[in-house]
Structure 1
Amino acid sequence: MKKSMGIREGFNLKQKYKENASTVAILLKRINSEMASKENTMKRYKGTPHSNFFQWNASASDWVGAKCDASCALVYSLLLPTVGLVGSLPPNTISLLAQLQIVSLYSNNLTRF
């Protein structure tokens, strides 16, 4: 004989569903933020005070100090030695360049990463 679900069991099931839905929503939000494009990443950096002299546009092939693959879909090198960078690099800028292999920031006045 099948036992009907009581109020308490129904509430617990509903609560677990809400928790799972919240977890999925948080994971999706995190995945979306981690999938930010290289342009958005570098444009965020462009908005920092010490990057005002860079002439970065939509094409990574024209970015100062950046080297990308043939299609410019992936930035693999960022060379900015002695360019007068001051202060700290904002979070979630350079770190979002997933294929970045070479970084040179020496002889600048950076305080932390």
Structure 2
Amino acid sequence: MPRTQTIPEASPKLTTYKCTTAGGCVSQSTSVVIDWNYHWFHTSDWLSCTTSSGVNSTLCPDQATCAKNCQVQGDTNYTANGVATSGDSMTMNQFTYGENGIQSASPRVYLLGADGNYV
């Protein structure tokens, strides 16, 4: 049975526009999702599925085994990762302020359509 996220992703909404010569610009309901390496990748026992050199090859020797052993924790705090959206604007910060002072964020995000697929 496939694993599900323990916390669902909370992708920030972002209005974008699709423009054509014939039809002008039409707004679209989209959202952004942060790159997977900003998510915690772990087992159901809360053990990390990554090491300092990448994905744990014992837990993830191949894609099918990895999908059985590991799950991706959803991100609910994009601001902490340097990403903020408001209407049709998005701000990405290379640095954020956290508990330990200034932290590097350098976020990478992807655009999702209303159906949840990459645009």
Q: Same fold (TM over 0.5)?
A: no
Return the TM-score normalized by structure 1: 0.23
Return the TM-score normalized by structure 2: 0.22
Structure scoring higher RCO (CA < 8 A, sep ≥ 6) equals 2
- Over alpha carbons, which structure has the higher Rg? 1
Whose helix proportion is higher, 1 or 2?
A: 1
